[in-house]
Amino acid sequence: MANGQQQQTPTQSENFQNCRWKLRNHASCIVERVGSARSRGIWDQIFHAKAVFLSEAFAPPPLLVVLFLEVGIREADWTGVGFALLAAVFVVIGPYLAVIVMSRRGAVSDRFISNRRQRAPILLGVLLSIFAGLFLLIVLAAPRALVTAILCIAVGLIWVTVVSLFWKLSIHAAIAMFFAAAQVILWGPWGLAALFVPVSVGWSRVHLRAHTGPQVFAGFGVGLIIGLLYFLLELPQ
């Protein structure tokens, strides 16, 4: 070779330094990936816990009890509390306790009846309880607005029962949207703040993979329709 063009080979020390540098970079990359995975895991846990909380706090039973108390007190002052609690027994508490017992005995998948095929017979039983409660409330001369609200819920539940024969519509979303619509009917523009409820419920049910987006939006549709029915039935005569 010509002078100045001789190929220079790295020394053993340089080879060692290069290997150590590569290993250090590789180890640093692994540490970063592990840290990133742990960070994602923590955030996943936080979002999961938030979704579970919202799904439980804004589930149909507590929302309906709150709505019955609102309507009862608004229409008949504190006398309406008794009617509201009676309505809650037939529409919410009784059916919900029955489902919990069935769930613990293994008769249904869980207290939310996640298995679509198990929903129709359970919902029919809930409807029977609702109509029994309606009959008793009418006989006892309960506030008209409370009876109307329960009637609208029954209509929505009939719809959900039929749909459940072939598709898993979100009952959580339907009740949450009806609750929000009822707040607007009861309190006017101030009730719009309650839209936070169906939005939260919709996100939580999808995040928990309890429902798909279309199933949640279908539930919203049912809630809006029975909310409109409630508004029309409550128009001044």
Every domain of the chain and the residues it spans: 59-233
**171 vs 113, residue with greater confidence:** 171
Q: State residue 34's pLDDT score.
A: 46
List, in order, residues 6 or more apart from 233 with CB less than 8 Å away. Answer: 148, 151, 152
Q: State residue 237's pLDDT score.
A: 55
Residues 229, 152: contact at Cβ < 8 Å? yes
Phi and psi based region of residue 197 (left: phi greater than 0; alpha: psi -120 to 50; beta: remaining): alpha
Phi and psi based region of residue 138 (left: phi greater than 0; alpha: psi -120 to 50; beta: remaining): alpha
**Distance, CA of 178 to CA of 155 (rounded, Å):** 12
Q: State residue 17's pLDDT score.
A: 54
**16 vs 233, residue with greater confidence:** 233
Residues 194, 146: contact at Cβ < 8 Å? no
Would you say residue 21 has pLDDT above 70? no
Q: State residue 10's pLDDT score.
A: 53
User: CA torsion 70→74→79→82, rounded to 10°?
Assistant: -20
